[in-house]
Structure 1
Amino acid sequence: MDDPILKLKNEISNLTASQRKVADYILKNPMEVAFLTVDQLAGLVGTSTTTIMRLTFSLNYSGYTEFQKGLQELLRNQAAPHTRLEANLKDVSESDLWNRCVENQISNINKTKEIITNETLINVLDLITSSKRVYCTSVKSGLPVAQYLTFGLNRLLGNCELVIADQSDWVDLLLNLDSNDVVIATSFPRYARRIVDFVSQAKESEAKIITITDSYSSPLIKYSDIILPCNSGSLAFHNSPIASMVVADYLISSLAINYPDRTKVRLDKVNDVLTKINYHYHNN
């Protein structure tokens, strides 16, 4: 699914002054615009329908109607779980569900790949490797991403800790956060207040914030130093972490491959310990 809000944010610097006025209104009132006619929107913004149409063309939509449908779908995916499930499965047969599910995840991964630049990923790796401590945090559907990152980064670097934002007593942790620390926060709609609270307080402590989220409308964006936007749509009621897991896997793999002088010694030590305690099962 194309994210019209994300497209607007990415293109806003290239718009004319009148188009920016329209874009600003849409970004502030997406729910309202999703059900306005082009004439109604033009009247509210104080511009022409031609300006609005040119804006949608610049975002690679065939017109305002297609843009509006994309906006409606985005809002529907952020709706209550039972509503989202009903909308998504309306035209899906049981025999086609497996193919549709796989295709949806492939689409999520491909769109995420298109959005995240190599430069952004390099900046993320620089932050992680230059930090004293790394804290991975999330709740609910984003938690598998935080857990996977914590395991991988800690195995490689030895300085990573998991913070489950809606369960942990992270107030004490905040007292020790400073500008040498990095928080990697993963959050999807509907966004949990506790993770927003944790990230905002971490930012006040001058920690660097890397955010893995679905949209630039996420409440974590304003606290973020680096944003990794990942598609999280599923065929059912839930947010899918699959595309985000691919990003997490890349970060772990890239650290291991590109920083061997720092990671190989630790990996060898871990392997020695596991071998000594006969940790792994051997089928004789």
Structure 2
Amino acid sequence: MKKIQMNFHRLSKGQKMIAQYIMENYDKAAFMTAAKLGEKVGVSESTVVRFANVLDFEGYPHMQKELQEMIRTRLTTVQRIEMSTDYSNEENVVKKVLKADIDNLRMTMESIDFKVFEEAVKAITEAKHIYIVAMRSSTTLADFLAFYLNLIRNNVYVTSRSVSDIFDILFRVNKDDLVIGIGFPRYSSKTIEALDYAKSQGAKVLAITDSLISPLVSHADFTLTAKSNMESFVDSLVAPLSLLNALIVAVGIKEKRKVSTTFGKLEDIWEKYKVYS
């Protein structure tokens, strides 16, 4: 938006029409192809491409990506529903959603910082207590992570499961503990506040979020990112879930003896009480 304002005087008549449309409809423009944006404004696709170049972007895809990053955290549910109306039929829905999830997995794998991943595994194995903080759709991820960490080690708590306020659970947190905050757009202010408190008490904080410009990052000692892009009112949790899966497996390998003992005892309990048919 700042680039548009600074370069507006340099734009041609057609490019000014594009700029005006983006300023007024940024939530829709961010997910349009160059051809579709040109059609909507009434200019050619090449004019849209040149517009991106005038703003010093490498091309239209680069400008579009930057615009998406800027506005994705501000989209309301209504705006997400409006964006998803491009799914014309059931077959199109399946293909577009699966492709988006595949792209999210690919981008997550390409951007993973393996050094930070190792630090996260070490923090999980060494922490006296682990608190997992997540709200809204991210509670699904928190429950998945907590379910398996509880099989590996003791003292794992999930704030979303409690009837108490987050701070009623976190008030004893200290330097020997690890707080794992999970948050994706739209970010929960409660999660951010909880991480801020944990950090002030000296606890280590691991943020699991979608990008390094997420508001969770400024309160974290280390951050793991997983892409959750989805042009819909539904959050894509495929890549974040896969990242958590990798984290759990890595912790399990570190704690192989404990895991073996735990599951040996559980198998006896499951057999005695016919947990599985």
Give the TM interval when normalised to the shorter protein.
0.7 to 0.9
Q: Deviations over 1:106-155 (max 9, x none)?
A: 11111111111222211110000011111112111211110000001011
Task: Tell me how large the CA RMSD over aligned residues is.
Answer: 2.7
> Corresponding residue for 2:218?
222
1:33 aligns with 2:2: yes
> Corresponding residue for 2:192?
196
Distance 2:226 2:207 in 1: 10
Contact 2:207-2:224 at 8 Å conserved across structures:
yes
> Corresponding residue for 1:71?
66
Distance 2:151 2:207 in 1: 21
Q: Is 87-96 or 209-218 further displaced after alignment?
A: 87-96
Is there any run of 5+ residues in structure 1 with no aligned partner, and where?
1-31, 42-51
> Corresponding residue for 2:41?
none
Contact 2:131-2:170 at 8 Å conserved across structures:
no
Instruction: Give how far 1:263 is off.
Output: 2.1
Contact 1:88-1:236 at 8 Å conserved across structures:
yes
Q: Deviations over 1:201-226 (max 9, x none)?
A: 11111111111111222221111011
Is there any run of 5+ residues in structure 2 with no aligned partner, and where?
11-51
Distance 1:166 1:154 in 2: 16
Q: 1:278 to 1:166 in 2, by over 3 A?
A: closer
Instruction: Give how far 1:40 is off.
Output: 6.7
| Aligned AA (2:81) | L
Report the count of equivalent residues.
235
Distance 1:87 1:74 in 2: 16
- TM normalised by structure 1 equals 0.74
Instruction: Give how far 1:75 is off.
Output: 3.6
Q: 1:102 to 1:263 in 2, by over 3 A?
A: same
Q: Is 102-111 or 163-172 further displaced after alignment?
A: 163-172
- 3-state SS in 1 of match to 2:275: coil
Instruction: Give how far 1:89 is off.
Output: 3.6
> Corresponding residue for 1:235?
231
Instruction: Give how far 1:257 is off.
Output: 2.7
Q: Is 80-89 or 98-107 further displaced after alignment?
A: 80-89
Distance 2:80 2:66 in 1: 14
| Aligned AA (1:164) | S
Which one has the largest radius of gyration?
2
Contact 2:184-2:209 at 8 Å conserved across structures:
yes
Q: 1:39 to 1:275 in 2, by over 3 A?
A: same
> Corresponding residue for 2:264?
268
After the TM superposition, which residues 1-284 of structure 1 pair with which residues of structure 2 at under 5 Å, given as runs?
32-33=1-2, 35-36=4-5, 38=7, 62-63=58-59, 65-78=60-73, 79-90=75-86, 92-164=88-160, 168-281=164-277
Q: Is 253-262 or 87-96 further displaced after alignment?
A: 87-96
Q: Deviations over 1:218-276 (max 9, x none)?
A: 22111101111111122311322111100111111122234312322122222222222
> Corresponding residue for 1:19?
none
> Corresponding residue for 1:6?
none
| Aligned AA (1:73) | Q
Contact 1:233-1:240 at 8 Å conserved across structures:
yes
| Aligned AA (1:113) | M
Contact 1:232-1:242 at 8 Å conserved across structures:
yes
Q: 1:168 to 1:114 in 2, by over 3 A?
A: farther
Distance 1:69 1:220 in 2: 24
Percent identity between matched residues is 24
- 3-state SS in 2 of match to 1:271: helix
- 3-state SS in 1 of match to 2:178: strand
Distance 1:159 1:173 in 2: 12
